[in-house]
Structure 1
Amino acid sequence: MWSELDVHKKEKYRSLMTNFASLSEAFSQKVESEKTLEISESVAPIVNSKFQETAFQRTFGAIGEDIANTSYDVSLKNDETQKYLVGIKSFGIHSGDQKIAQFKASSVADGWSIILGKAKSNAEILGDKNLADKENEPLYREVAMKIAKLRNERIASSKELIKGFDASDTVNVEAVYHVLMPSRKGESPQIHVGETDYFPIDVENIEILGSTALRNSANFKFTDGKHIYKYADADSQLFMNFHNKEIIVDTWQVEYVADAFSYFENLDKEISELSTGLQVTESVSWMIANKHGDVEESSGYNGFDGGSKLSKVDNIREKRINSFKMKYKNEISEADMNFIISHLQDILLKSYPTKEDKKKMKQIRSELRDKLVVINNDKIKKDIFALVYRPVSEMYIPIPESRKFHDNNPNFFGKDVGTFKKGTKKLALDKDERTFELEFLPSGNVITVYINQDDGKSIQSINKQGILGEWILRGVFQLNEYEPLTGERLNELGINAVRLMKFNNDSRRIGLEFIWIDTENPPKDAIGWVSHF
């Protein structure tokens, strides 16, 4: 990536970072020598990670990525065919392993500590690291495979977010780490620019390297032939060896300034050259799951899971059941056919008006699904699923406490879009008057959507609902067909919320991004249940 970036922008980025680091000596500590003379210690150049991230975004036009559990900080569009996901990091050139991910919720839910507790017990009994590593290899491998699965799913999800839903095969998305590595105290002040690939873990080539130490046998290292990883059980953290000196692609000299006040007095001359760019003027964010951690069933992101939309007029459903029976009567046993027809009749011909009734319907549908697994006929499965489920990629984006939001922000989606017919839950404007363009960040994909349903609770696609659902459900959330989105899956991927943004440029669309919200410290723009904390 670094070699492909604009040389003038790289020079501006270098200037920002080295100018910031040039203040480092002004904060150096003074010590007393034996002769009581004050001696100023040399210090390492200071690289502030937040400033680094902001400088990278503003210089290269990158977009910030507010997603937890990955090291992706920004996304960068190089051209129409090349996009990058960038993990921005800073650490000393002589530093060791660096944290790259955390799996706290998944490790607890899946019992990783229990597995590694067995490894610790084995090590205590054997009392020899080599013997213990050999005995614990299957335990370490089990956890390493779980780590690899989650990490790879997160990487795939993030790549889909930047690639977008209408990307052709010509769009290439690469993930890289961009790191700044300052020299240490006593060395010539330099900042080394490093870059290394952000690879998925190669599951087929995982090799367990053993525990980090006999007495820390719940922590272990493994490699996939590309990177060396270390997992620390206490905080469920994954570390990686960056091979710091091997990844250097550029080196900047830092000239310290002694008078910080003079620097600050002239700072405005330097930053005035930077374009302020687009500014977010309004934003709103909300959790995808409810306060119990569950994602709504049968609607929203799980719209496919609702009852069949097959028409009931003119005995359409009965005719479709009979048509299925005639089509496959010679392909499966009479007992299996009777089981299927009985369940289809229960699902399609009976009414399920209440929530409890719908639970019964889903139980019957689950029994039918289990039977199809045993029958193992893809054509039959496809035809039956088309009867008993809604379209597999059907979905909309639900707005929590939508009536309250629209009443407080009637013009957020456009003039009077959030207004209602007096005394009703019905939106006042016609469909065409409550449409707008939604831009998905960071991919830049744009889709025409509208506010719909009672209380204006949904954001729905006008004519690309299937494409949108396919991308979000299969790509972003890495779900199989007919697999519901759950709170557990959100935790695994580190995506639990949505943010909408309006910009200072009135002609720009409303932006949408998938983010992570810390429920104990929600952002100021949060609505829904998390805003009440």
Structure 2
Amino acid sequence: MKSFAEIDIENNGNYLKLLSAVSKLSGLFSESAIPFINYRVAENIFCRSFDAGNLSRSDTAFDANYNSIGVGLKTFVCNSNNSNEKVAEFNSLSRVIADFQGKDLAHKLAEFRNERIDLANRLYNIESSLYHIVARKDSELVLFETDYDKIDIENIHAVKQNSASLQFEDGKNFYSFNYSKSTLFRKFYIPNNAFKLPIEILEDPYTLLLELFEDKALKPATDKFVRGENYVILPLYGIKNKEKFVFEKSGLNQWHAGGRKRDYGEVYIPIPAEIHKQFPNFFPERDQLFELKIPTGEVFSAKVCQDNSKALMTNPNKALSDWLLRKVFQVKEGELLTIEKMNELGFDSVIICKDANGNYQIDKAKLGSYEQFITE
């Protein structure tokens, strides 16, 4: 496909214009000649300009979904022709990783990295993927695309290890793993045909801002995330003795409960009592049907049910298990979902969003997000 810079120019779009405009304001943050762009701002500009789905909130492998192309968005300072940049964090798996060394560790890291890419492909119906890079140099931005390949496990070689890090190659890319941060880095190279966007940083951006906002009535943002009003986060686990675990006979493993013969599709997402206590008006009344859109765009019929409205279920119930258990977590019928599986894939909670018309959506949420949400 054409580069995003080319697409923007052909369509007389706003992507390059917005990147340039934000870069001109770099004097608000730094005296450097290198343009400053916050990575979240770069992600939002990209998604707005190309009408791409913004996946950054779900902490998944990709930052955007552009016509079923998973896009990893990177912006970084690069004064040479290459830079090592973070591509994955494995804090939740630090105990597992500690048991491996050398090439075995490289293989395990590759497995975890590839599983998370596969997870994102399943969640968002991604058919192909790439990285879009905005490299920042003196007085210019350098834009280019490069591969978003999975690590070729069979071709891992040139493994080097010291007390601080592990390095390896797979025939396509160079990787390094930082032990203390449990972070995997990849080296990105700037190609000779990269698009260069000259940037003139404003000497006095403050005067511009004063002139821009003086005596002007601006429309306030109405689509911001408001805790408990238009989104909540639900855990897929319980906590016992300060340790997370997945209920063996309820929640997503309800099919395993005793008392009667149960179908493997009999599951629900637990709704903690604290959610109803703090946000009693977020969900509809018990047993009232509502539409719940999953990340692929498919819409389920759902309801809050059971004692104390503790369960979020779909109708048919099997729709939830087919999506969340079989497709996303890839657990087989008769196999228990475990906290280890969640850690491996990098999420243990879901985010439920609600728009002004009462339409609901569900997506994955990053590890530990429920604890942060409920204590804010």
Q: Normalized against structure 2, the TM-score is what? A: 0.84
- 2:294 matches 1:440: yes
1:511 and 1:520 mapped to 2: Cα distance? 17
Q: CA deviation at 1:268?
A: 6.0
Q: 1:231 aligns with which of 177, 182, 193?
A: 177
Equivalent residues, number? 363
- CA deviation profile, 1:258-312 (whole Å, cap 9, x unmatched): 221233245569xx999968555521113222222101112221123223744xx
**Per-residue deviation at 1:449?**
0.9
2:45 alignment partner in structure 1:
55
1:196 equivalent to 2:143? Answer no
Counterparts of residues 366-381 of structure 1 (less than 5 Å)? none
Using the alignment, how far apart are the partners of 2:362 and 2:34 within structure 1?
A: 40
SS at match of 1:242: strand
The more displaced of 145-154 and 96-105 is 96-105
The 3-state SS of whatever aligns with 1:66 is: helix
2: distance between equivalents of 1:180 and 1:10? Answer: 19
Q: Does the 8 A contact of 2:292 with 2:360 survive in 1?
A: yes
1:178/1:267 CA distance change after superposition, 3 Å? farther
User: Which letter maps to 2:19?
Assistant: M
In structure 2, do the counterparts of structure 1 residues 480 and 274 end up closer, same or farther at CA, with 3 Å as the change threshold?
farther
Q: What SS is found at the alignment partner of 1:101?
A: strand
Q: Is 1:87 the equivalent of 2:72?
A: yes
Amino acid at match of 2:84: D
Output the CA distance in 1 between the equivalents of 2:163 and 2:347. 31
Whether the aligned pair in 2 keeps the contact of 1:392 and 1:481 (CA below 8 Å) is yes
Gaps of 5+ in 2: none
Are 2:63 and 1:45 aligned? Answer: no
3-state DSSP of counterpart to 2:244:
coil
Query: 1:485 and 1:513 mapped to 2: Cα distance?
Result: 18
Tell me which of 270, 285, 292 is aligned to 2:233: 285
Aligned pairs for 1:261-410 within 5 A: 261-265=206-210, 267=212, 278-280=223-225, 281-291=229-239, 292-307=243-258, 309-310=260-261, 390-401=262-273, 405-406=275-276, 409-410=279-280
Structure 1 residue 435: deviation in Å?
0.1
Structure 1 residues 409-488: aligned runs within 5 Å: 409-414=279-284, 417-418=285-286, 431=287, 434-441=288-295, 443-463=296-316, 465-488=317-340
- Deviation at residue 438 of structure 1 after TM alignment: 0.5
Query: In structure 2, the residue corresponding to 1:483 is in which secondary structure?
Result: coil
1:24 equivalent in alignment to 2:26: yes
Give the drift of 1:20.
Answer: 1.5
Q: Following the alignment from structure 2 to structure 1, what is the Cα–Cα distance between the partners of residues 73 and 335?
A: 33
Contact 1:177 1:196 (8 Å CA) reproduced = yes
Q: What is the Cα deviation at residue 490 of structure 1?
A: 1.6
Larger-Rg structure: 1
Separation of aligned partners in 2, 1:471 and 1:391: 15
TM-score, normalization: structure 1?
0.61
Are residues 1:159 and 2:121 paired? Answer: yes
Partner Cα distance (1:518, 1:244) in 2? 35
Deviations 1:222-269 (A, max 9, x none): 2222222112223222111112236x6532121222221233245569
What does residue 97 of structure 1 align with? 84
Structure 1 pair 503–7 and aligned structure 2 pair: CA distance change class (3 A): farther
> Partner residue of 1:494?
346
Larger strand fraction of residues: 2
Compute the displacement of 1:181 (Å).
0.2
Give the CA deviation at 1:221. Answer: 2.0
Give the SS at the match of 1:472. helix
SS in 2 for 1:474: helix
Contact 2:300 2:314 in 1 (8 A): yes
Residue 300 of structure 2 aligns to which amino acid in structure 1?
I
Q: Distance in 2 between matches of 1:522 and 1:410?
A: 19
Helix, strand or coil for the counterpart of 1:499? strand
> AA paired with 1:412?
F
Is 1:259 the counterpart of 2:204 in the alignment?
A: yes
Asked if the contact 1:47–1:180 (Cα under 8 Å) also holds between the matched residues in 2, the reply is no
Q: State whether residues 346 and 367 of structure 2, in contact with CA within 8 Å, keep that contact through their aligned partners in structure 1.
A: no
CA 1:391 to 1:228, structure 2 compared with 1: closer, same or farther past 3 Å?
A: farther
RMSD: 3.2
Please tell me the residue identity of whatever aligns with 1:245.
P
Alpha-carbon distance between aligned partners in 2 of 1:263 and 1:226, rounded to the nearest angstrom: 46
Q: CA deviation at 1:444?
A: 2.1
SS at match of 2:65: strand
Shift of 1:439: 1.2
* Aligned counterparts of 2:336 and 2:350: Cα–Cα separation in 1: 18
Contact kept in structure 1, 2:13 and 2:49, CA below 8 Å: no
Amino acid at match of 1:174: S
Which one has a larger percent helix, Structure 1 or Structure 2? Answer: 1
Partners in 1 of 2:48 and 2:165 — Cα distance? Answer: 39
Output one character per residue of 1:176-205: Cα deviation in whole Å (capped at 9) or x when no partner.
222210114xxxx11011222222222222
Q: Which residue among 352, 366, 369 is the counterpart of 1:516?
A: 366
**1:180 maps to amino acid:** V
Q: In structure 2, what is the equivalent of residue 371 of structure 1?
A: none
Task: Provide closer, same or farther for how the CA distance between residues 293 and 475 of structure 1 changes in structure 2, counting only shifts above 3 A.
Answer: same
Q: Deviations over 1:199-219 (max 9, x none)?
A: 222222222x1326xxx3562
Task: Measure how far apart 1:160 and its partner are.
Answer: 1.4
TM-superposed deviation, 1:173: 2.4
Give the CA deviation at 1:499. Answer: 1.4
Indicate if the aligned counterparts of 2:348 and 2:368 stay in contact, CA closer than 8 A.
no
Q: Distance in 2 between matches of 1:227 and 1:273?
A: 47
Letter of the aligned partner of 1:242 in structure 2? F
1:495 CA drift (Å): 0.7
